[in-house]
Chain A
Amino acid sequence: MSSLRILVPIKRVIDYAVKPRVNKAQTGVETAGVKHSMNPFDELSVEESVRIREKKSAPGGVEDICVISAGPAKAADVLRTAMAMGADRGIHVDVKEGEELEPLSVAKLLKAAVEKEKSNLVILGKQSIDDDAAQTGQMLAGLLGWPQATQASKVTFAKKGDSVEVTKEVDGGVETVRAKLPMVITTDLRLNEPRYASLPNIMKAKKKPLVKMSLSDLGIANERRLKIVKVTEPAPRQGGGKVEDVDGLVSKLKELGAI
């Protein structure tokens, strides 16, 4: 089996525990001064890549784990975190604050990176928790003409050869597919439990190589196809108060026509 050169795209997003607020101009959500962190699904991708190396689960071994992120200067922070978790190096594609790329552009950018870095496995999160699009991995696989396994909860390498078996979370249960490298996998919550970066590893990660690039270095333009007309708060939902006992609950549900 060819040794693995894994590319792990990661995204810096508003921390999952923060309740986002729509900005006054209704053009997006307030991001200034809001805690950001690595998209939770991307942590799973990094963790899985590092585990493939540690557990020696791929017969050809892992030659390289490269993390890549497109975003403003602060995207470098999540790349450092990923390197502290065990990635070997990082690529930061510099995109100005507020000029976020759409999934199709990210997929094109990643295709260029895959070709440049000679990656044979790309592991992405199934969706980012900011735009909730769930597209990039599938788009990348389509552009590359590679097989894709989305919403992975288990990744198993064959003892010999280039074959990978992936269990995917689907509606109503799981489905298992098998494909040969090169391929694209997107991660689901059940895949693993990401580790915390230890302090010594955070220090070591500072010395790992982090290359800065521009979109044009990868031959990409930020071409937006979707114009954001407006962003609004969802209609608020008012709690209807509490009842004393089960009888109260039943009669209230009857009153509301729910039973």
Chain B
Amino acid sequence: MLFPTATRSVLRSVGALPRSTSAFSSPFSSPSALRRLLSSLAVLEQRDGKLNHGSLSAVTAAKKLGGSIHGFVAGSNIKAVAEEAAKVEGVEKIIAVDNAAYDKGLPENYAPLLVENIKKGGYTHIIAGHTAFGKSLLPRVAALLDSQQISDITAIENENTFVRPIYAGNAIATVESSDPVKVITIRGTAFPAAEAQGGSATIEDGADPNVEISVEWVSEDLAKSDRPDLATAGRVVSGGRGLKSKDDFDKIMLPLADSLGAAVGASRAAVDSGYADNSLQVGQTGKVVAPQLYMAVGISGAIQHLAGMKDSKVIAAINKDAEAPIFQVADVGLVGDLFEKVPELTEKLKSS
């Protein structure tokens, strides 16, 4: 692999520069010289010609690193998306590739596309969200670059050192990467999306290797909802096994969500029992959320569920079992029958 070697040697020669001139420069020149070399590529998501603003978290993470920030978008008629992305605060340049072959973000051709542009741009850090798109794409990119990806980071200590939860959030690991190109996915709730206004990046056509795609996109079935998106909502109400049926889930949880302007989530038990759609699952293997308010209804609070919501600002719990583990993390708990308490709560929220 030519590229990592090249970057390593560039870094090394620049790293050596301040040392040789150390007699004439301040002791702080070395890190700042390195910082100037640091350049990040934020991989932005788009769908049907619209920029996914959630993916602007990658720009925020790049800002924390310092150095120059470029954004990357690809798909058909990408111009509008590129122009929207160019307004994002802090971005110097948008690399855009106009080709319908990338519309669905399939990693089989999107990964070689990214690798080509990463090599061309000589980036030191590649950042994407730890979303379905980022999770399927970035490890493939990392393997092609021979880099050990750092997944789902929640903090950046310096350009080599990152913090990420392991064991369903029961431990926090700080890791230092020795790879010349850092491939990183970030936890969206830990990095707020960058301002979509105030920037004036240039737009440049990216390289397009036109790799033949080995997979065919057949169809999709996305849950349609007027409620806020679960991953980014300010308030989330989540139902568990205690809801007993899909009808009850809809009857109890949806009005509560609407009275709070909240997104709806669910525990694995509720999803497995068919009360709620898979995409609503909150937890280690579902979505990780960190809203202002998380209200857990009929959820006992298993480790795997807590992994997905324990960074919420305020946690409220309604459960008939006073011993349920959820009460150990809840800021406010109400012991009682949810079929009675939740409708009452919904009414009171509506009238207040």
Contact = CB atoms under 8 A, between A and B. Distances in A.
Interface of A: 14, 16-17, 19-20, 22, 28-29, 102-104, 107, 126-127, 129-143, 145-151, 153, 165, 168-180, 188-190, 225-234, 237, 239-243, 245-250, 252-253, 256-259
A241 B132 contact: no
Given A172-B222, A243-B332, A243-B333, A178 B135 contact: no
Contacts of B345: 246, 249-250
A177 B178 contact: no
Contact of A129 (B284, B335, B348, B349): B284
B149 A103 contact: yes
A239 B218 contact: no
B234 to A, nearest CB: 10
Contact of A234 (B152, B165, B279, B292): B165
A133 B284 contact: no
B284 to A, nearest CB: 7
B278 A169 contact: yes
8 contacts: A107-B143, A139-B142, A153-B278, A170-B132, A232-B171, A246-B348, A258-B293, A258-B316
Nearest to B231: A171
B219 A176 contact: yes
A56 to B, nearest CB: 23
A244 B32 CA distance: 57
A233 B166 CA distance: 10
Interface stretch (B75-83, B105-113, B120-128, B244-252): B105-113
A233 B220 contact: no
Given A133-B149, A170-B220, A249-B332, A225 B178 contact: yes
A203 B174 CA distance: 43
Contacts of B146: 104
Contacts of A149: 215
Contact of B279 (A20, A29, A169): A169
Contacts of B135: 134, 138, 150-151
Given A141-B140, A252-B332, A129 B168 contact: yes
Contacts of A168: 132
B186 to A, nearest CB: 13
B214 A19 contact: no
A148 B105 CA distance: 13
Interface string B316-352: 1010001000011111111110000100110011001
Specify which of A138, A190, A237 lies most central, judged by the most chain B CB atoms within 10 Å of its CB.
Answer: A138
The 9 lowest CB-CB distance pairs between A and B, nearest first, are A138-B139, A173-B222, A225-B148, A142-B140, A142-B143, A240-B331, A139-B143, A135-B139, A170-B132
Contacts of A136: 139
Nearest to A141: B140
B175 to A, nearest CB: 4
B223 A173 contact: yes
A148 B107 contact: yes
B8 interface: no
A253 B148 contact: no
A246 B334 contact: yes
A226 B304 contact: no
A241 B169 CA distance: 23
Contacts of A145: 214
Nearest to A190: B278
